[in-house]
Structures are given as C-alpha cells and as structure tokens.
C-alpha cells in the first residue's frame, strides 16, 4: 500500500533534498523520505517537510502512524560516503536494536521495518531502522525508548522520533534530541506528507557495499573492519591472501549446482561428480566452514562478506582442479547474491531489482563456471523433505519455511542471474530421473560425456 500522490510531490522532493533548517539542525544531512514495510509485504512511502504550511492532511499516513496509539521511528545514522568500519558498526547496532525492541517492555507493540533514504536514490546515506507502534499509547513506552537510547554511550546513537496527529487529521513527526543540560527533548515538528514510490527500491544502490560485493576487495574491506571483535575474520583474511588475485580455469568444465536446502543438491552433486569422475567442491570451503555459525549470527554485511570471500577461496581450488578433471561445485556466487537481495530488499516481489539490472551480473574478478544448474521443488515437497531429514535448521532456513515471500524473492533472484544464468531443473522426480536430466543438460552445454 503506497500513499496517494499529489501534483506537488516533485517540488516537495526537490526541497527535501536540501539541509534541514533551524537551530537544532544536525551537521549530517538526514534522509527525509521513508519506506515503511507493512503486513502483506507492501511498502508505504512518505516524507517529512517543515516547510509545508497548509498541506492537505493525508488520511493514509494518519491511519498508519497516528492515533489510536502512537508510533515511534528509530533509525541508525550512517553518513553518506561512510567507509566499511562505519557501515559495519551501524549494521551491528541495527541488529542489537532489533533484539531489544523484540523484548520487554515492547512485546505489546507492533514492529515494522523502516528505511530512511534521500530522494533521488543514490548510493550512501541510507539508514535502516524500525517503526514501533504502541496501540495503547502508553507513556511507559516512550520512557522505555528514552532509557534504551541512554544506554548507547558511543556513536552512533539511534535516532528517535514520534508521530502525533492533530485536530485537523494532519500527522506530525517530532524528533527527540539529547541536550546535556535538559536531557531528552523534542526539537521541532515536521509535517508528514505523501511521497511517490521511487523508480527503484531505495536499498538497491547500496547492495554492492552491503552484500552483493562486485569484487574481492569490497568483501575483504568489510572483514578487515571486523577483526577487532571477530578473531576468526583475520583467519579468513589470511586464507584469502594466500589465493592469487586472478585465477584461470583449466581445460575441464566447471558446473555449479544451486538451490534451496532440501532440493536435492547434496544427492545430485555427489551423483553427478561420480558419473563424470569429477572433483566435488563446496562453498564455503572446508577450510573456513568451521566458522560458519559465527558469521551466520552477524548482520548481512558481515555474513555475506564471509561467504563472498569463501567463493574466492573456492575459485583457487577450482582453477587447480579443473586442469585435471571436471569440477562440480555445491553452491557458489549465485547463492551469496540471491540471499542478500532477498533479505535486504523489503516488500514483495515487485520491489526486486528489475531483470537485467547490473546487480545480477557475475563479479569480473571471480572465476566463472561454465554452467549453473538451479534445482527446484514445490514448497510442499521441500517441507516434506526437511521434516524427514530432522537436521538442525539455520536461521535463513527457518525464514524460508515461515516467510513464503522471502522464499519467492530468493527463487526469482536466482532466475534473474545473468552471465551465467541458471538452467532450472525440476528436482521433484526420482533421483535417477533428476540425475538423467542433469547429465543431459551438462552434455548439451559442456560436451563432457
């Protein structure tokens, strides 16, 4: 659900791109537009403006953010052009804030995902946050939020604002600011106005710096920023540094096999490697998979840097092994990219980057496979297989089970990958029939049988 549009929106957004006026204006230019994720994976876009006297009230905004109850926004500040260390700190703060807002005393409140962005949609300056709606409008909620912020002594400190309606059904956003001599105080009031849907989801320009890394150095810089609090990050970096920056594939074909858990990847990769007398490799590789759980508990930017660098380590192994025999890889770069896109792009399928967007392109410095196969089964069949295995499930696997939209976004992102794209294989039939289909595709594309 998006807010209604008015002809004044282009003029409004042109004004909102400037610095906020007033004695309390912060040194950092703050985002003035917001994307709020609502139930049903719809997005509502709105903006704040302190120079819109006489603006017509927006009934959609009032219904979403105003009474009954009271809403609060919390976001994590990141300066435009901030380096890896600042983005890593902000991501960890955002994760910490999420855990706190899910606990006491906020259990009776509704929590929604919120993105704060600049109109125009360039990279940098995006702020991740939350909208907390208290249906009771309890003063205890405000007190608890201010006490929560007091616990953040070091920068960056989350930014807090609340939304309140007036008699004319207009909605106002009132930021809170910590003033040494007076404690927390509200500083000004800004009218909430509708904003048009941006042409591209506001998170997409930031994806190359937060998970879909375009080259090895981008991922490496993230883990370098983590070595002070994740000792294993240095161990991963040491392994990466032993790998040549550019590697070449040997004369034998390289086939990557992708798919969600319980689509038959383990069985198919083993069977295909046996049939082709190929070497079977996995990403992340065995040399770093012992640390997988550590990085899986970290925010997206850190988790995906770990998996990205794992791909580069595997690439060195592929280069060596493909001089002697065919190589089969159980997951590779496509997995790293699709899970990042699906988790970071809020809303439904319609908000994914469009087909042929550069985000779906293979990194230029990563060894490319000759063929990528994507195994698929129906959601019902996948669930049946998962229940039959009785294995411990990862956080992402649990999310795939409980959030059908997230699962669909992963699947669609897989299918939009280019150069190389994915050959989709229905993995529902018997093992023998799936293996026969896979070997036929490999023969037609790689001529190895």
Give yes or no: residues 192 and 240 share one domain: no
Residues 6+ apart with CB under 8 A from 73: 34, 114, 116, 129, 130, 131, 132, 159, 160, 161, 162, 163, 173
Give yes or no: residues 153 and 246 share one domain: no
Query: What pLDDT was estimated at residue 400?
Result: 60
Final residue of a domain: which of 199, 221, 250? 199
CA atoms within 13 A on the CB side of 17: 9
Query: What pLDDT was estimated at residue 396?
Result: 61
Q: Is 383 exposed, middle or buried (0-12, 13-18, 19+ CB in 10 A)?
A: middle
The answer as to whether 335 is a domain residue is yes
Give yes or no: residues 220 and 178 share one domain: no
The answer as to whether 18 is a domain residue is no
The answer as to whether 21 is a domain residue is no
The answer as to whether 97 is a domain residue is yes
Query: What pLDDT was estimated at residue 10?
Result: 38
- CA distance linking residue 56 with residue 417, whole number of Å: 44
Query: What pLDDT was estimated at residue 378?
Result: 76
Final residue of a domain: which of 181, 199, 217? 199
Residue 24: what are its φ and ψ, rounded to 5°?
-95, 10
Q: Which residues of 61-96 are buried (b: 16+ CB within 10 A; e: fewer)?
A: bbebbbeebbbbbbbbbbeeebebebbbbbbbbbbe
Final residue of a domain: which of 165, 199, 233? 199
Strand 42-49 with 33-38, pairing:
antiparallel
The answer as to whether 109 is a domain residue is yes
H runs (alpha helix) in 54-184: 59-65, 84-101, 139-150
Give yes or no: residues 216 and 337 share one domain: yes
Q: Tokens 């949609």 appear where? A: 121
Give yes or no: residues 295 and 329 share one domain: yes
The answer as to whether 428 is a domain residue is yes
Query: What pLDDT was estimated at residue 7?
Result: 35
The answer as to whether 46 is a domain residue is yes
C-alpha closest to that of 57 among 131, 133, 117, 6: 6
Give yes or no: residues 104 and 132 share one domain: yes
Task: Identify whether 399 is preceded by a cis peptide bond (ω within 30 of 0).
Answer: no
The answer as to whether 24 is a domain residue is no
CATH number at residue 245: 3.40.50.300
Give yes or no: residues 417 and 293 share one domain: yes
Domain of 130, in residue numbers:
32-199
Q: Which residues of 225-258 are buried (b: 16+ CB within 10 A; e: fewer)?
A: bbeeebebbebbbebbeebeeebebbebbbbbbb
Give yes or no: residues 240 and 104 share one domain: no
Give the chain's domain count.
Answer: 2
- The alpha carbon of 275 is separated from its chain's Cα centroid by a whole number of angstroms, namely 37
Give yes or no: residues 285 and 352 share one domain: yes
pLDDT per residue of the chain (449 residues) written in tens, 0 to 9 = 333 333 333 333 333 333 333 333 334 556 789 999 988 888 989 998 866 555 565 666 677 787 888 999 999 988 777 789 999 999 999 999 999 999 989 999 999 999 999 887 667 778 999 999 999 999 999 999 999 998 887 767 899 999 988 777 788 899 999 887 678 999 888 888 888 889 999 999 999 999 999 999 999 999 999 999 999 999 999 999 999 998 999 999 999 999 987 778 889 999 999 999 999 999 999 999 999 999 999 999 999 999 999 999 999 999 999 999 999 999 999 999 999 999 999 999 999 999 999 999 999 999 999 999 999 987 776 667 666 665 555 566 556 655 788 889 999 999 999 999 999 999 989 889 999 999 999 999 986 65
- CA distance linking residue 56 with residue 302, whole number of Å: 44
- CA distance linking residue 369 with residue 224, whole number of Å: 28
Give yes or no: residues 234 and 370 share one domain: yes
- CA distance linking residue 160 with residue 156, whole number of Å: 12
pTM of the model: 0.88
Q: What angle do CA 183, 188, 191 make, to 5 degrees?
A: 140
Give yes or no: residues 191 and 217 share one domain: no
C-alpha closest to that of 188 among 161, 168, 212: 161
E strands present in 135-239: 159-165, 171-179, 183-186, 190-194
Give yes or no: residues 441 and 337 share one domain: yes
- CA distance linking residue 295 with residue 313, whole number of Å: 16
Residues 6+ apart with CB under 8 A from 39: none
Give kind and range of the element (H or E) at residue 330. strand 327-330
Query: What pLDDT was estimated at residue 377?
Result: 85
């Amino acid at each position: 659900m998006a807010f209604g549009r008015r002809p004044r929106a282009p003029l409004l957004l042109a004004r909102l791109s400037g610095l906020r006026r007033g004695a309390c204006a912060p040194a950092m230019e703050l985002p003035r537009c917001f994307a709020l994720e609502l139930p049903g994976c719809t997005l509502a876009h709105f903006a704040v403006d302190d120079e819109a006297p006489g603006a017509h009230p927006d009934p959609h905004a009032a219904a979403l953010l105003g009474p009954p109850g009271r809403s609060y926004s919390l976001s994590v500040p990141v300066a435009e052009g901030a380096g890896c260390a600042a983005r890593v700190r902000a991501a960890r703060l955002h994760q910490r804030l999420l855990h706190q807002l899910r606990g006491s005393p906020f259990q009776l409140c509704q929590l929604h995902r919120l993105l704060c962005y600049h109109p125009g949609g360039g990279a940098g300056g995006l702020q991740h946050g939350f909208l907390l709606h208290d249906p009771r409008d309890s003063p205890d909620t405000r007190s608890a939020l201010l006490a929560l912020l007091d616990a953040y002594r070091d920068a960056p400190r989350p930014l807090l604002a609340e939304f309140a309606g007036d008699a004319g059904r207009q909605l106002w956003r009132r930021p809170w600011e910590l003033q040494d001599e007076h404690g927390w105080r509200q500083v000004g009031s800004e009218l909430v106005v509708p904003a048009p849907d941006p042409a591209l989801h506001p998170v997409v320009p930031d994806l190359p710096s937060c998970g879909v890394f375009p080259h090895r150095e981008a991922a490496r810089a993230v883990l370098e920023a983590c070595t002070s609090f994740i000792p294993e990050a240095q161990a991963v970096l040491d392994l990466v540094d032993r790998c040549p920056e550019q590697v070449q594939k040997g004369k034998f074909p390289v086939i990557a096999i992708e798919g969600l858990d319980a689509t038959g990847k383990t069985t198919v990769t083993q069977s295909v490697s046996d049939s082709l007398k190929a070497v079977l490799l996995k990403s992340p590789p065995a040399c770093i998979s012992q640390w997988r759980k550590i990085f899986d508990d970290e925010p997206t930017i850190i988790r995906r840097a770990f998996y990205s660098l794992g791909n580069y380590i595997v690439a060195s192994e592929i280069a060596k092994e493909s001089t002697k025999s065919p190589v089969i890889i159980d997951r590779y770069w496509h997995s790293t990219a699709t899970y990042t896109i699906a988790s970071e792009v809020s809303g439904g399928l319609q908000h994914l980057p469009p087909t042929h967007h550069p985000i779906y392109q293979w990194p230029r410095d990563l060894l490319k496979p000759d063929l990528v196969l994507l195994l698929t089964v129906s959601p019902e069949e996948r669930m049946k297989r998962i229940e039959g295995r009785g294995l411990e499930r990862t956080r992402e696997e649990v999310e795939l089970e409980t959030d059908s939209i997230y699962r669909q976004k992963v699947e669609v992102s897989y299918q939009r990958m280019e150069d190389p794209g994915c050959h989709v294989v229905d993995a529902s039939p018997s093992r023998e029939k799936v293996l026969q289909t896979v070997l036929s595709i490999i023969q037609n594309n790689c001529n190895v049988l």
